[in-house]
């Protein structure tokens, strides 16, 4: 990836407002949002214990519609060859050995992505998400830019905690502008936990995995 210009950072805010979900008609999407989780932040919210010290996949989200086709049931046997990669790069951070997170992402977002022929099966959807994830190499790009987790970067004062990064693509899987409008369908809340677009005026804390200092 040449630039992070199209990235949207989402933080666990301190007094920041979260975006509301706005329903749109479930017609064809025009943008895909490849969403990354920072496990340390997620587990601080969800009370889990993550072993992952790299950005994991959260999902590949079309910008229009949710749960678009209830007849497209999740079937793990259709993605057997992808499972080793998914377990490593797209884990359920709360229950890593479970497939429930993939089922949820397929039903909520994959069935809408499937409106495009290029993503009209579970294998195409999950495979493309993994392909884009590896192509972008978010961890590598951030390290090259010297953006790394640290316990000591901010020691006091009001900060927001980096928890999610979104990178956007058009329908041809080329990088696209990630700017959100008031009618976007993306919901920044994780079970009401409080993710919102980072406030540029507030320092951002990028926490390391608990017990592992990465400076």
Quote the pLDDT of residue 15.
34
For 170-187, write each residue's pLDDT tens digit: 999 999 988 754 434 443
Token digits for 184?
A: 């976007």
pLDDT at 44 over 60: yes
109 given a catalytic annotation: yes
Quote the pLDDT of residue 107.
98
pLDDT at 54 over 90: yes
105 given a catalytic annotation: yes
131, 136, 127, 126: which is closest to 54 by C-alpha? Answer: 136
73 given a catalytic annotation: no
Q: Distance (Å, rounded) from C-alpha 32 to C-alpha 174?
A: 10
Tell me the residue ranges of DSSP E strands in 40-159: 56-62
149, 134, 119: which is closest to 41 by C-alpha? Answer: 149
Using DSSP's 3-state secondary structure scheme, residue 130 falls into helix
Quote the pLDDT of residue 14.
45
Mean pLDDT of the 144-171 span: 85
pLDDT at 92 over 50: yes
Residues 6+ apart with CB under 8 A from 207: 38, 40, 41, 44, 149, 151, 161, 162
Q: Domains, the chain, ranges and CATH?
A: 8-205 (3.90.730.10)
The single residue of 36, 37, 109, 166 carrying the catalytic annotation is: 109
The rounded percent of the chain whose pLDDT value lies above 90 is: 60
The single residue of 36, 37, 58, 166 carrying the catalytic annotation is: 58
pLDDT at 60 over 50: yes
The single residue of 36, 37, 105, 166 carrying the catalytic annotation is: 105
* Whether the Cβ atoms of residue 76 and residue 82 lie closer than 8 Å to each other: no
The better pLDDT of the pair 100, 15 is held by 100
């Amino acid at each position: 990836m040449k630039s992070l210009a199209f990235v949207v950072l989402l933080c666990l805010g301190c007094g920041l407002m979260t975006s509301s979900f706005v329903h749109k008609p479930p017609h064809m999407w025009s943008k895909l949002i490849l969403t990354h989780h920072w496990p340390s932040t997620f587990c601080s919210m969800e009370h889990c214990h993550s072993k992952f010290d790299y950005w994991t996949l959260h999902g590949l989200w079309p910008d229009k519609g949710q749960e678009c086709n209830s007849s497209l049931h999740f079937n793990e046997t259709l993605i057997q060859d992808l499972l080793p990669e998914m377990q490593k790069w797209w884990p359920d951070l709360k229950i890593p050995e479970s497939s429930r997170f993939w089922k949820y992402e397929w039903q909520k977002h994959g069935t809408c992505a499937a409106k495009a022929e290029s993503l009209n099966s579970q294998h195409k959807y999950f495979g493309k998400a993994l392909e884009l994830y590896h192509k972008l190499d978010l961890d590598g790009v951030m390290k090259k830019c010297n953006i790394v987790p640290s316990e000591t970067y901010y020691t006091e004062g009001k900060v927001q905690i980096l928890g999610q990064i979104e990178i956007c693509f058009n329908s041809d899987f080329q990088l696209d502008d990630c700017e959100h409008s008031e009618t976007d369908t993306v919901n920044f809340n994780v079970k009401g936990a409080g993710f919102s677009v980072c406030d540029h005026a507030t320092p951002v804390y990028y926490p390391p995995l608990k017990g592992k200092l990465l400076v």
